[in-house]
């Protein structure tokens, strides 16, 4: 499986244009959520009881 790009692999001009639009690159952001073998979520399940 091909490795996803990291922020360091992306062109600086591209990153600058994204930052001007208040955006971030998708794949580096999803790296911890969708790895090829085991997800590493940074969220916690919550139940709201009313």
**pTM score, two decimals?**
0.51
DSSP string, the chain: -PPPPPGGGS-HHHHHHHHHTT---HHHHHTTTS-SS-------------
**pLDDT tens across 1-50, in order?**
456 567 888 899 999 999 999 998 887 777 767 666 776 677 888 999 98
- Domain chopping of the chain, boundaries: 1-50
């Amino acid at each position: 499986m091909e490795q996803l790009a990291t922020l360091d692999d992306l062109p600086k001009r591209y990153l600058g244009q994204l930052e001007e639009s208040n955006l971030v690159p998708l794949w580096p952001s999803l790296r911890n959520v969708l790895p090829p073998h085991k997800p590493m979520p940074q969220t916690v399940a919550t139940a709201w009881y009313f």
